[in-house]
Chain A
């Protein structure tokens, strides 16, 4: 059943569940992290349940790497699909120790995956589970439980990891405890992940691709930064609109503690702790942190003023405009968003297609190493 479309997830789910109508189809690469994002009740979790086979909507279609899991004639039961599923609540088996929970889904065939084997140790190490192995799920904190549940899903050796708001049942502190684990996971494993969330900050740190959903339908699907800078979508118009991109560490100035990062069409300076040159880091530039100048600022405390070209402008509020910029004087680089007042736009006589300088007040660097090699597609 393998066709010539490797590394893609193709899904089309339609049907009604009670009063809810789902009609969603998308196609995303089966690499890196794909986030399903949208308000509560828009059908993201239902899509995840459909992909896993826990929900059966007849007349739908689902294929991973050309392998058909559901179509008109085929419906593979959940236990026949090579998936890992992390639920909102950890859902560990209460009658088993953490170790036996972890091994429950581990392959038991010719080469059994056992405690002490290399893949086991790797997952234990990745998620910091060693001290928990002999404990009962009753005696774990919320964060520890969720880490064990993620480990259990990984040890079943899935070809696709499905995560249904794995952090939303946790408090802020516990979330911050788990996020670095997820980032490490993303970086170290080449496992494709579909990650459901309604929290944009999680998505900005983890996702490579985005499927934007609204009331049972797909609004848009594509690379994260492309959707972030698309002014026809609701993301760009929001107060906290931002663009994320992956940058390569070019140099580190130890005397000033400044990191030089190479992005498509420019170079950004960011104060940061030392890191290895050549590493990929994820950046976040908020639209409200970018201002525009007609000429290169000569004397300024601002670290970053990059040549860029105005791609488009749209009105977001009576007094403000949202400007899409492309870095580089030829306008071929990474996209940025800038939110400026309409007054400044008119005073500076800015217009689409004009070359200007983008002054970036703040560049947020993801706290941990967060971007994998396959993250920059």
Chain B
């Protein structure tokens, strides 16, 4: 299976890499956004929430198109890329990461925001009356209590990045080893009538999706049991 399996496994490896990096970035970037959305009393916060949620509704090609404009050689992305001698961020792995972060943002921010909101004011007030600074209260009370939200956000963010197609096609193209991820590879195999390879990858994705949904359900059941 030598050559064939190498060719098949490359997009799998790349996809996992992309999804992992995207998930880590989203947990770092999404947590303060989720915290702010859950705690702020600003009247315009729902506006921000709507922007974060846009990829849920927007066709991925629309988001991809705008990203292409922004990241491409004539946009700010091109200017940025010229700093290290590049011409564009589009059609690079970095470009894919940026696109994935934006595309999967709502799937990470939403569950974390919900579990921050579910904590309520009381535990944080209690922490404050026990001499905990806001920073300490955040790390020792809010984060541990919101753990189910982080778990759900990480799983959903990862899974969604694995499954994205439209955006990848728009800004990533199809560069083997750099931007050719699973969903594009499947599309490619079908285009070139390599049904066996397409079958292996598609079947793997189906199993993966099943495992994700099962995991989420089990997490939720566990949370419900703890809170009972």
Contact = CB atoms under 8 A, between A and B. Distances in A.
Nearest to A107: B131
Contacts of B147: 95
B145 A94 contact: yes
Interface string A103-134: 01100000000000000000000000000000
Contacts of B128: 53-54, 77-79
Contacts, number: 56
B163 to A, nearest CB: 32
Contacts of A84: 129
Contact of A93 (B126, B131, B133, B134): B126
Interface in B25-43: none
A104 B130 contact: yes
B117 to A, nearest CB: 16
A350 B147 CA distance: 74
Please report whether the interface of chain B is mostly helix, strand, loop or mixed according to DSSP.
Answer: helix
A153 B128 CA distance: 11
Interface in A61-107: 77-79, 83-85, 87, 89, 91, 93-95, 104-105
Nearest to A162: B129
B20 interface: no
A182 to B, nearest CB: 18
Contacts of B122: 87, 89, 91
A374 interface: no
A26 B123 CA distance: 30
Given A93-B141, A95-B144, A95-B145, A105 B130 contact: yes
A78 B128 CA distance: 6
Tell me which of B123, B126, B141, B145 has the highest count of chain A C-beta atoms within 10 A of its own C-beta: B126
A153 B125 CA distance: 13
B8 interface: no
Nearest to B227: A94
B84 to A, nearest CB: 44
A162 B125 CA distance: 13
B54 interface: no
A85 B126 contact: yes
A91 B132 contact: no
A104 B144 CA distance: 14
Interface in B104-155: 122-123, 125-134, 137, 140-141, 144-145, 147
Contacts of B127: 79, 93, 104
A55 to B, nearest CB: 10
Contacts of A153: 129-130
Contacts of B145: 93-95
Contacts of B141: 93
Contact of A54 (B125, B132, B133, B144): B125
Contacts of B134: 79
Interface in A128-179: 138, 152-153, 156, 162
A87 B126 contact: yes
A244 interface: no
A85 B128 CA distance: 10
Nearest to B137: A79
Contacts of B226: 94, 138
A138 B223 CA distance: 13
A372 interface: no
Contacts of A89: 122
Contact of B133 (A79, A83, A138): A79
A333 B137 CA distance: 53
A58 B36 CA distance: 25
A52 interface: yes
A105 B123 contact: no
27 contacts: A52-B129, A54-B125, A54-B128, A54-B129, A78-B129, A79-B127, A79-B129, A79-B130, A79-B131, A79-B133, A83-B129, A85-B125, A85-B126, A85-B129, A87-B122, A89-B122, A91-B122, A93-B123, A93-B127, A93-B145, A94-B145, A104-B130, A104-B132, A105-B129, A105-B131, A156-B129, A162-B129
The 6 closest A-B pairs by CB, nearest first: A105-B130, A85-B129, A78-B128, A95-B144, A79-B128, A91-B126
Interface of B: 122-123, 125-134, 137, 140-141, 144-145, 147, 226
